Amino acid sequence: MLGRVAPALLLLALCCPAGASPPVAIHTSGASSPAISQQGSNASTKVYYSNTVHQRVIEHVGKKIAIRSAYLLPTPDFAGRRCAPASTPCVDDLKESAFLHLQVQSIWPEPVLLTAGRLAIVDARRLDGHPGMKGVDVLAEHITANWSPERFLLAPGEVKSIALEGGVRLHGVMSFFNDEVAQEPIVCLDASPCTIPQLARVDELNRFLQARYGRAATLRVTLYEKDYQPLLTAAFRLSHGGDLFSRGDVRKNDYRLQHDAFIGEVLYQLQGGMEAFQSRREKPAAGRTPASP
């Protein structure tokens, strides 16, 4: 018995010298790693990496699709300009409300059909869900509520932009857009949301969102295929936003909202722009500038 144990102890000593950290344990949810096999066709792969029992990171690897970018876009009357006392009637439901837009990419060798999408607000204060948005590129929460279901069919490698039906109301966020911020220049090019050259404003917005809605305030997105079979789950922490240069880690579910787009689109409205992003995207034109107030 000792003869068999000694070589094992020697091997352990060679692999892990005194003071060295033990190797990272990798556990998967199946008999073999689903990250390198094709077991099952739905849900997101979950791979667990941990150094200790108490430290664990869950990775979500979308088997069929990946999110390339995500951003909140304000509703057409986000700033409430049409709710002046003289306005009759005043539709206040759109004020400080935004909807989540995603750019998704198929990473599957066969066509993939998105059938539904759901947005949930988690661990947040002063945030409410907003009644649904409708449109040909809006992925509804209910399968039969999609206006153009065929628009959500992705060919292998195809990239599409979609919006989710459910929105979020950011109570009090307009206080961030003071007179100084409102005068920031914006850039609106082609079919992309407006953005801001001064990207330091993104960090300022992150601090504002954390103070107002909580550090843990998160938007959780679930995309479905077939009969509500989960295809990908992603979490976006509201105060962990980035800009157009930010790149999250798909495997680690480290997605970041592009807050420069959100700021740019709000400023577009404040500086006199009247056309919704969806309309501008359908007729792209370089060098767009907001209309005069």
What pLDDT was estimated at residue 10? Answer: 39
State the number of CA atoms in the 13 A half-sphere of 95 facing the CB.
13
DSSP annotation of 242: B
Six-digit token pair at 241?
Answer: 């936003």
DSSP annotation of 10: H
Give the chain's mean pLDDT: 77
Taking only the tens place, the pLDDT of each residue in 134-146 is: 889 999 999 999 9
Average pLDDT over residues 261-281: 90
Average pLDDT over residues 171-179: 95
Six-digit token pair at 152?
Answer: 């959500």
What pLDDT was estimated at residue 61? Answer: 46
Taking only the tens place, the pLDDT of each residue in 144-173 is: 999 999 999 999 999 999 999 999 999 999
Higher pLDDT, 52 or 112: 112
Average pLDDT over residues 5-12: 40
What pLDDT was estimated at residue 62? Answer: 67
Higher pLDDT, 270 or 46: 270
Closest by Cα among 39, 59, 40 to 49:
59
Higher pLDDT, 108 or 130: 108
Q: With contact defined as beta carbons under 8 Å apart, do 268 and 194 qualify?
A: yes
Q: pTM score > 0.85 for this model?
A: no
Share of the chain above pLDDT 90, in %: 54
What pLDDT was estimated at residue 278? Answer: 80
Average pLDDT over residues 231-253: 84
DSSP string, 173-204: GGGGS-HHHHT---BB-TTSPPB-S-THHHHH
